[in-house]
Structure 1
Amino acid sequence: MRYGLFVTLFASLFTASSIAAELSFFYYREQGKQVFQTLLEQFSQETGHQVALHQVLSSDLQPALVKAALSGQTVDVVFAPSDAISIANIIHLSAVPDAMISEHVPPEQLATTLNQGVVRGIPILQGNHLMLFYNKALVSQPAQTWQALRAQQPALAKQGMRTIGWPYPDMYWFAGFVHSFGGRMTQGQSLTLDSPAMQQALRFYRDLSDSGLIDANCDYACGLQALIDGEVAYAINGEWALAELQQQLGTQLGVTKIPAIGDQHFVPFSSSLVLMFPNDALNGPNGEALAALSQFFQRYDTQLKIYQQTRFLPVHQQLFSELTEQEANNPVLQGSLLQLADAIPMSAESVQNSAWTGMRKGFELYIQGLIDEQQASQFMQQYAERDHRQQRENTP
């Protein structure tokens, strides 16, 4: 039923009476911009609709969208991780009708777009998860646990090498440690930051810094570029970095699961990468053009081009199955998929956005030594609850 509506809807879009539109497209990733620019030019050639791509750094995405919504600026479509849907009420995201979703989008990917039971985005890619990268020239046997990684630290230090890098203060990385101790940031519409798991994760995470395994001031370049330059043996980064690291390190690149904590697998976040439509753009004057753009990005050939040039994982079920079968002997892809299998999807509910805010504030106080881990988890919970309550009160 859904596919029949999908075909009928888009067949009607490519008629001679269609009026060419000019669309603004926000692109949030640091990688893959040129590939998307080329695809948007192809879309323009096929349909006559013009699309202007504007790159927004991931850290600036939500503030930019909120600012645009408050100032009345026009943003037609945004390519973003599905948890950005958590601000749906603030930026007035369109509800996406069933007819716009291809039958090749798996139900579990579509579920990542639900906000209060309503689909608010169209999944294009999947993954967005962290994994462990390492330099095979420096590491013969990758560590499977944090204890084993620490055991390798002295030998690497003798070679003038730091062991591992990742953006230590970034909560997307820290969240995986919380999950690995059995904690969760949210459950449905509820915040669950104040937990023994959070307190265990805080202690463990700070000890990684206190022991010298990771620099507490390590930023994104400290992991990614340092691995490329041979300054660290390991780095924790995301699937978005695969193409760049393969290009730079070639066959010396190793990919595997992030070390386990004792006998507990590391559990990173995952999400889909979606098209979403602020200011209820689907029901605005450019609605038909946006529906055509959505269909274009859900196509098999479009998602194949994205994968071939960026290694971003498609959501198209048939294509994904074919790629995993064809590349069964590709250790880089298989390492990524192994970690993805342990990941949990991020929530797209508004409470998720408040959870990030609360966790960040409490973490900062804890790392500065101003509060202990129990006080930190309580502070996170209280701050996030207050933030969520204020959001509800201030949203029409």
Structure 2
Amino acid sequence: MHHPILIIVFFVFSLNVWGQDSEYRSDILVPELRHADNLVLWSAFGGYNSFDSLNEQYRHQFGQELSIVFFGVEDLKGDLLFAADAEILPDAVIVPSDFLGLHQDYRFQAIDKENFPQSERGNSKDAYFGYPITTGNFLLLYYNKLLVSNPASSWDELFQQAQQLSEKGIQAITWQYRAPFYFLPFYYAFGGNIETNEALKLNNEAMLSALKSYKEIVEQADLIRFCGRSCDSFDFLNGQVAYTIDGDWNYREFKRALGDNLGVAAIPAIKGHAVRGLSSNYVIAFPKNKKESEANRKQKMKSLIEFFNKDKTQTHIFHEYGLYPASIDPNSKLNKRTSEFESQFFTLLNDSISIQSHASISFMWSALSNNVLAVLQDQIGIEKAAYNIDAETQELAGKFEQLRSQKRVLK
């Protein structure tokens, strides 16, 4: 019988908080293993469905096969909870760092400090539940140089360009406007913040200003008519759209499609406020299987962390997937920018706002998803939406903590 908290949390996580379908379906929780002694790795690396060469490197180094199963991020959040309940957890997972806010519910094992470089160990009271593999996971503005000579630095400037582009039959800009992750940088632009050790407070002036301004630019960009339910990258890659806001995770795909005609820039400023992408790490974490010995668990953690921390592995991940390693040798070739494009890209990465993980963020996404969309569809007003976002986040977080305190969650 599943615990009540899993039903609540799975319902929340099953909501499509990104505003788009997951790229992978998680139809099964436990993959069929090719060999009994394989290491099973569940990965939420978005859009990257082949780690074959990494698997070969790992097998050559450690003499063991990796069975890698790919999930959409939201699928994996719920599936991990049910896997913990059913005692069928994988050996390791690669997930965005916001998963760590619920580390005890996913049964993530604390990682020995000795596995971290000295500079990253922090003070003696710190506990680590995920080892960073890549950094970034942030939004930026991509543009087609064949359609735009100078990228717009503000939304006013972009909409001036839109008039000229429209005369040529070109849509100015698209992005996944329904997805709360794309809304959040605008909340930060007006002074909002989700970095807190206390309950999130989201009904504030920053939220009101962000909702109002976001609705205005979505309407002015004519996204609801042009995109319908989903703005994907197809039209941008085919030259029908001049700009798109998208993640660094699509950098390699866009570069392969557009080559030297691809440009990158900061998301345009809104009403004089800079809009900066929010960045985080992808981490490798280790769910604790009760039947596994402590010695085996430590050896597994050590080998996988050692593997993903190697310069060769990091270089492969960067060149194959366009994701920048979270920990890197200063003398690595990756620190030598080979083009103006890469220099611009890393400038934007360095200018992004790094956000940390805590449990309240997990519940915030659902509240944002429902209410931002309701504002865009004129179903509720801005003041009501700001109130709902705050109240729904607090309500879900409160129910979660209440059930935890009653010991009705997994230990």
Structure 2: state its 5+ residue gaps: 1-35
SS in 2 for 1:382: helix
> Is 1:183 aligned to 2:215, yes or no?
no
Q: Rate the CA distance shift 1:312–1:216 in 2: closer, same or farther, 3 A.
A: farther
Deviation at 1:223, TM superposition (A): 4.0
Q: Rate the CA distance shift 1:304–1:283 in 2: closer, same or farther, 3 A.
A: farther
Query: What amino acid sits opposite 1:23 in the alignment?
Result: L
Name the residue aligned to 2:111. Answer: 96
Q: 2-side partners of 1:217 and 1:188: how far apart?
A: 40
Name the residue aligned to 1:367. Answer: 376
TM-score normalized with structure 2 length: 0.83
Q: 1-side partners of 2:301 and 2:272: how far apart?
A: 47
Name the residue aligned to 1:126. Answer: 135
SS in 2 for 1:353: helix
Alignment of 1:100-115 (within 5 A): 100-103=115-118, 107=120
Q: In structure 2, which of residues 166, 172, 183 is the aligned counterpart of residue 174 of structure 1?
A: 183
> Is 1:64 aligned to 2:79, yes or no?
yes
Q: 2-side partners of 1:367 and 1:335: how far apart?
A: 32
> Is 1:262 aligned to 2:271, yes or no?
yes
CA contact (8 A) 2:89 2:289 kept: no
Name the residue aligned to 1:17. Answer: none
CA contact (8 A) 1:300 1:316 kept: no
> Is 1:295 aligned to 2:310, yes or no?
no
Name the residue aligned to 1:15. Answer: none
Cα displacement string for residues 243-274 of structure 1 (whole angstroms, at most 9, x for unaligned residues): 11111101110111111113321122100111
Deviation at 1:159, TM superposition (A): 1.2
Structure 1: state its 5+ residue gaps: 1-19
Q: Rate the CA distance shift 1:241–1:88 in 2: closer, same or farther, 3 A.
A: same
Deviation at 1:95, TM superposition (A): 1.1
CA contact (8 A) 2:266 2:276 kept: no
Name the residue aligned to 2:144. Answer: 135
> Is 1:80 aligned to 2:92, yes or no?
no
When structure 1 is superposed on structure 2, of 234-243 and 276-285 the one drifting more is 276-285
Q: 2-side partners of 1:340 and 1:353: how far apart?
A: 24
> Is 1:28 aligned to 2:39, yes or no?
no
Q: In structure 1, which of residues 225, 229, 234 is the aligned counterpart of residue 238 of structure 2?
A: 229
Deviation at 1:283, TM superposition (A): 6.4
TM-score normalized with structure 1 length: 0.86
Name the residue aligned to 2:280. Answer: 271
Query: What amino acid sits opposite 2:113 in the alignment?
Result: D
Deviation at 1:321, TM superposition (A): 6.7
Query: What amino acid sits opposite 1:296 in the alignment?
Result: F
Cα displacement string for residues 251-310 of structure 1 (whole angstroms, at most 9, x for unaligned residues): 110111111113321122100111011236896544412320111101112101211222
Cα displacement string for residues 81-136 of structure 1 (whole angstroms, at most 9, x for unaligned residues): 11121221221111111011234xx64xx88xx9x952110001111111110000
Query: What amino acid sits opposite 1:196 in the alignment?
Result: E
Deviation at 1:391, TM superposition (A): 1.3
Q: 1-side partners of 2:245 and 2:397: how far apart?
A: 31
> Is 1:163 aligned to 2:159, yes or no?
no
Deviation at 1:146, TM superposition (A): 0.6
